[in-house]
Structures are given as C-alpha cells and as structure tokens.
Structure 1
C-alpha cells in the first residue's frame, strides 16, 4: 500500500511539474511572437476591420474569407507540419517547426496581395529572429562523456552502488540535438555523487550501438536512447522496445523523463545512502537545489 501511495504521489508531482514547466515556457516572448507571426495572415484575412482595410477583394465583396489558393496553401502547411513533426521530442519543437512553415507560406500569401505587405512581413520576421531568439538552456550541467564502450562499462561498474542515467546519441540526429539541453538541465538538477549522468556518441562508437541494440540508421526511432544502470546493469530504457520488437513513440521532455525514471524518489534514496556528512560537504562546496525544487 505504501509503495502504491508513493508511486501515485510521484506521478502527481511529475504531472504537476510538467504542467507548470510547459506553461512557463509557453508564455516566453519567443513563442508568443513566433505564433503571432505564424497566424498573422489568417487573422488579418478573416477579422474585421483588418480584412476590409488591407485586402482589395474583401473590400469589394464585403466578405472576410479565404480564397481557393489561400485555402490550399494553409492546408499544405498543416499537412507538412504533421508529416515533418512525427515523433517531435517536445511541443516546443512542434510549435517551432509549425511557425517556420507557416511564416514561409505567409510570405507567399502576403506577396499575392501586395509586395509591400510581403516586405513588411519579412522585416518583422527578421526583427523577431534578431531580438527574440529561441530560448536555450545555458546553465550548468553534470554530464560525463564516455570515450568508447570499454570506458563506459568500466566507469559504470567501478562502483556498483552508483545509479547512472546514460544518453546514447548521435551528432546528426535532430532529436538528439533538441534533447541535449533537456538532458543537461536534468543532470544539473539531479546530480549526486551516486546519481550520475553520462553521454556517449554511438555514431562515433558503433560497437556501443551494437552492444545495446540501438539502431543508428536514418529512419531509426531509437535516437536518443536513455538507459538507467543500477548495480552496473541496465534496468530501464526509453524509448521502450516491446516483446514484438516494436519501438514506442516517446516524448523527450524533462517532466516525462523525471516521471519515467522516477528521479524524484531516486534522488531522495541516493541522498539517504550518501549520509549526512557527505551531503553537508556538498552543500558547503556549492548551493544545491532544495527538495521542493527537485519535485517540479
């Protein structure tokens, strides 16, 4: 019963933390302005008084509606967004790609109405790129990079009391690139001397991918793969491979990783194993996040 309560409590904290973090990132000026530019043509085209002021055919007919070509272009944007974003690591990645495709389409749509509209729109997009760049994680990280299979397995097995969270990645995978700041932030928040984080480039060390059954082809759905090691052995991995050798779709977001790897409880358990003296020494060396922050 206690284990059930602890699991539900951990799940509730992860869900609450996920909602809080997503809401905080959604209101960042980059996403707000980017989405405003992405939907600007449709809003101006359909809402009064903008449609009658800016578009000649609307002023003549008195109806604020899209013509056939505009319908086709916007439907194409929707289709290409869905196709290109299958398996997107985060909703931020999805919105970023949608914004890019929509803005390209808007350049064409504004040009059809007036070259002057297109120029103004391009200038606004350029200003957004310069003044409001995409937010990236630039804080500390606690990641150890392994230089091969032997180095990784030797390090993990040196002290089997340590818990390791290892990210298997390649430098060419966009999902791995998008995942990098998430994993860095995760390591900074949860690192302990006995709860450690590592990364290894399986594009460079192909024998690592072979050993841990991680495909590195262009169409693979296994990049990045994150594995938890306890007692020197693999105990959990994401994305999960079922009994029929099918790879589940996985969302590489920080709240999802915290929940799936039970990092809140793992962090507390590792702290207990360290003992008070070690924790006091760590706190003297550097300021550590509080327990409440860990649960976000």
Structure 2
C-alpha cells in the first residue's frame, strides 16, 4: 500500500504560479499594498517640502536603498534554500528600507508604517508551501498504522511541524522536494502538524513547550525503520541545527538508501 492510498490524501496537481500566490495570499497582498503606499506618502512630502535640496537628498537615499535591496536580493537568491525563506527575507529587508525612507519624509509617516506592519503581523501569516510532492499529510493514527502494518514501507521519514512556527513555514518546502527525488517502495515521506495534534508530541519525545520558549525548535525530522526510530534531526540536545536538503540527505543517508533500493 503506498502512502497516498493509505492516507486518502488528494495531492494538488496544479498549484498557483508564484506571482498569482503573491497576489492572492493576504500576507503578501497586504505587504504589497503597504509598499505601494510609499508613492502616495512621497508625493505628499514633495508637495509639503518645497526645498529642492530636500528633494535631491531624498532621491539619493531612495537610489541607495534600491541598490542595497537589489544586492541583498541577489545574495539571498543564491543562499536561500526555499522560496518561502527567500520571500520572508525580501519582505524583512524591504520593510527596513521602507521604514528608513519614511523617517526621512516624516517621523509620523514612519510610525504609521510601523503600526501597519504590526497589524499585518497580527492578522496575516506567511503561508507554508502547499506542494506535497510524493509526501503526505498524516494524522498520528495513520502514522501508527503505516509504521506497524505488514507490507508498508521499510523506512518512513516524518517531519513534525507547526503552522504557527515561522521556521517551519520557511522550511516547509524541504521534505516535499526531497520526497520527489527519494520516495520509492522502500522509503516514504510524511508530515504531521503538531498544531493540530499536540498530544502526539510527547509520544515522539518532542517538547512543544521548549519549541514555543525558544528551546527545541520545530520542525523535527524522525526516520523510522519498521516502526522504530533510528535517527532524528535536530538530535536531542542539539536544537540549533542548520536544516537544508543537503543536511537532511547526509544525516538520514537518503542517497545511500536510494542506491540500495535501485541495486535491489
């Protein structure tokens, strides 16, 4: 029995393009609207401030801010592991530069932007990756069944995440993309949202209190072999692990397991 039939999950075959996502998702839409209001604020400042020297100074600062932002965008494009992390970084730098430019226009305008960004943070959350690849979303009962039933995959790599964790959102693309490359009859990939099933955390030795308090951070990846845990990342007592596809592949030996499966 494969993972999709076991869970009854219907995977999305036609996800929205990234530009459509930026427009449709409230989190990104609110930020875009906030950034576009700068042109109105600047226009008002130009009408109020009649000094040409002030206009030229503001224009120079704007050019410097745009150039610095473009440099950071290029650097982050090379370093960022996922699209969600890249967009989160761009929005952060964009808000910093926008706030700095607003200070040059008027302190009250800067305060309005600060309040606006706090409101966006309160009412909207960055969406996680909606692609599942060859992974599947599981309930604790489904996972227990898959780990114990005869004929199930020998290995299960399961990601324990929470939708309220910004780190989980930034890394939500890792497991689905890994599953596309490494999923086979020998190893399957699953996701459990501890926000929906908090009682599941204790069973697998995951401290939600530590995660919320800045100790043990989610997501946590656990590899099961015939229903028994054989590896996890971050390891117990090592909560500052840097997570990436390369790190996950190396830690859980995904390349070796794929070669072992192909060899028969």
Give the TM-score taking structure 2 as reference length: 0.54
- Indicate the residue corresponding to 1:269 in structure 2: 260
CA distance in 1: counterparts of 2:203 and 2:228, whole angstroms:
13
Mark the CA change 1:94 to 1:151 in structure 2 (over 3 Å): closer, same or farther: closer
Partner in structure 2 of residue 233 of structure 1: 228
> Within 5 Å, which residues of 2 pair with 1:145-224?
145-148=137-140, 150-158=141-149, 159=151, 162-217=154-209, 218-220=212-214, 221-224=216-219
Unaligned runs of 5+ residues in structure 1 are 1-36, 38-50, 59-63, 65-89, 119-133, 274-296
CA distance in structure 1 between the aligned counterparts of 2:199 and 2:262, rounded to whole angstroms: 34
Taking a change above 3 Å as real, the CA distance of residues 240 and 97 of structure 1, as seen in their structure-2 partners, is farther
Distance 1:233 1:54 in 2: 67
2:134 match: 142
What residue number does 2:247 align with? 256
For residues 91 and 179 of structure 1, what CA distance do their matches in structure 2 show? 7
Q: Distance in 2 between matches of 1:216 and 1:139?
A: 25
Give me the CA root mean square deviation: 3.8
1:159-215 C-alpha deviation (Å, 9 max, x unpaired): 466111100112211112222112111111211121100011222222320111111
CA distance in 1 between partners of 2:204 and 2:131 (Å): 30
Partner of 1:107: 101
- Say if 1:154 and 1:253 are closer, same or farther in 2 by CA, change over 3 A: same
Distance 1:198 1:239, change over 3 A: same
Count of residues in correspondence between the two structures: 173
5+ long unaligned stretches in structure 2? 1-34, 36-52, 62-83, 111-125
Q: Is the 8 A contact 2:194 2:201 kept in 1?
A: yes
Q: Which region of structure 1 is more displaced relative to structure 2, 169-178 or 215-224? A: 215-224
Distance change >3 Å, CA 93–CA 215, structure 1 → 2:
farther
In the alignment, the residues of structure 1 paired with residue 227 and residue 153 of structure 2 have an alpha-carbon distance, to the nearest angstrom, of 8
- Using the alignment, how far apart are the partners of 2:177 and 2:220 within structure 1? 17
Contact 2:129–2:172, Cα closer than 8 Å, also in 1: no
